[in-house]
């Protein structure tokens, strides 16, 4: 597990931990991948905001955010950016690749089964 870069950068989560927080309504998941990646498939509960458009004002403040990308690198950058702005944020370790390996669902915008591009 990586060390938090600030007091609001929360520990990285594995997919199971992230899914538990989402199921209990204790976090929101923010997918920072590019539009084509999002369109191929994403976590059902995810909100989409590409990394290049990310601003701290654009993310929910009422609950911690779980940042996710394909492998965890871009979402780590997003987590650092949000934490530096005072947001409570986790990174999803291993990204959507780990999410699918764990057997968690991936859907397209119309709710059909998706893939990780």
Exactly one of 43, 69, 79, 96 is catalytic; name it.
69
CB-count exposure of residue 40 (10 Å: 0-12, 13-18, 19+): middle
pLDDT confidence bin for 8, thresholds 50/70/90: confident
Q: Is 69 a catalytic residue?
A: yes
Q: What does 11-60 look like in DSSP terms, one character per residue?
A: PPB-HHHHHHHHHTTS-EEEE-S-HHHHHH-B-TT-EE--GGG--GGGS-
**Domains assigned to the chain:** 15-101 (3.40.250.10)
pLDDT > 80? residue 3: no
Mean pLDDT across the chain: 94
Tens of pLDDT, residues 33-57 = 999 999 999 999 999 999 999 999 9
CA distances from 63 to 9, 66, 92 (A): 13, 10, 16
């Amino acid at each position: 597990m990586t060390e938090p870069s600030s007091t609001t950068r929360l520990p990285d989560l594995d997919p199971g931990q992230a899914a538990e927080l989402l199921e209990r309504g204790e976090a929101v998941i923010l997918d920072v991948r590019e539009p084509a990646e999002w369109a191929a498939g994403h976590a059902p509960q995810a909100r989409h905001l590409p990394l290049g458009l990310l601003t701290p004002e654009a993310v929910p403040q009422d609950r911690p955010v779980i940042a996710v990308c394909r492998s965890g690198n871009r979402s780590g950058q997003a987590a650092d950016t949000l934490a530096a702005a005072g947001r409570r944020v986790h990174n999803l370790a291993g990204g959507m690749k780990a999410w699918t390996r764990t057997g968690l669902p991936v859907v397209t915008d119309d709710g059909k089964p998706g893939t990780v591009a």
